[in-house]
Chain A
């Protein structure tokens, strides 16, 4: 049975008061929702609170799911709203620099390719991996919320551009542009780390 049909069956059972169906739904999606929340919130405790809020909302609002999108898209939207609410309640909704025109930074002045060579060759090194993990977490936290959500859904949770666009209410073109800028930003932050280390 296709995934969408399986989800539709689960939704109908939950609406009928079948708590075992809700448990099945959680088992299926809690890891994905947690990954999204962790990508957005940075630490496990905050992520857990967002996941709790998300599934409580799903349970309370499942009657409002009209099937106009897939259930997973609807669930990701609920989960993302839960993380946004948590971010705001913790006053972490800080203004972050825009990534508009990021590409121009690479071609507007100087030599964009003069970044610190090819650090990708070190990617298999365990020490490098450990070092880079902290850099990555800091860099992702610097992304504007929407870019962080797009990057997390696309590159960590593996949604398609179309699915990410539906979750965020964006066009596919806008989603792809922001994803590209987020990736460029993260690459730049990692490169800058190695550039500083080499100086």
Chain B
């Protein structure tokens, strides 16, 4: 299934293919405007975009962990020991 407005604007499949470039801000202005028009007129694609964008945000929050101080200390101890052995 791929909805297309039939006016030369991108259909749903084209929108899907371009979503990463869209959220990364890497589309040419005219392509971005065409996607904006489609998204404004296609609620399913708009919902898809929202969950696609939120996926990146929740992944960052879930995985972007700072290195614990205890591990930093162990890393230094390991390197001191092993570099000395060289």
Contact = CB atoms under 8 A, between A and B. Distances in A.
A7 interface: no
B27 interface: no
B58 A190 contact: yes
Nearest to A123: B54
Given A38-B65, A179-B20, A59 B79 contact: yes
A121 B48 CA distance: 12
B59 interface: yes
B42 to A, nearest CB: 9
Contacts of B60: 155-156
Interface residues of A, number: 50
Summarize B's interface: helix, strand, loop or mixed. Answer: helix
B56 interface: yes
A137 B62 contact: yes
Interface string B33-66: 0000000000011011011111111111111111
B53 A107 contact: no
A186 B63 contact: no
Interface string B50-86: 1111111111111111111001101110110011001
B71 A190 contact: no
Contacts of B67: 30-31, 34-35, 51
A184 B48 CA distance: 10
Interface string A81-125: 000000000000000000000010011001111110111110100
Nearest to A151: B59
Given A39-B63, A120-B54, A176 B79 contact: no
A106 B52 CA distance: 13
Interface string B6-23: 000000110011011100
Given A112-B1, A120-B51, A107 B79 contact: no
The 4 closest A-B pairs by CB, nearest first: A113-B44, A120-B54, A34-B67, A120-B50
Interface of B: 1-2, 12-13, 16-17, 19-21, 24, 26, 44-45, 47-48, 50-68, 71-72, 74-76, 78-79, 82-83, 86
Given A51-B67, A56-B79, 8 more contacts: A30-B75, A35-B63, A103-B13, A106-B16, A115-B48, A119-B51, A184-B52, A190-B58
Interface of A: 26, 30-31, 34-35, 38-39, 44, 48, 51-52, 55-56, 59-60, 103, 106-107, 110-115, 117-121, 123, 129, 132-133, 136-137, 140, 151-152, 155-156, 161, 176, 179-180, 183-184, 186-187, 190-191
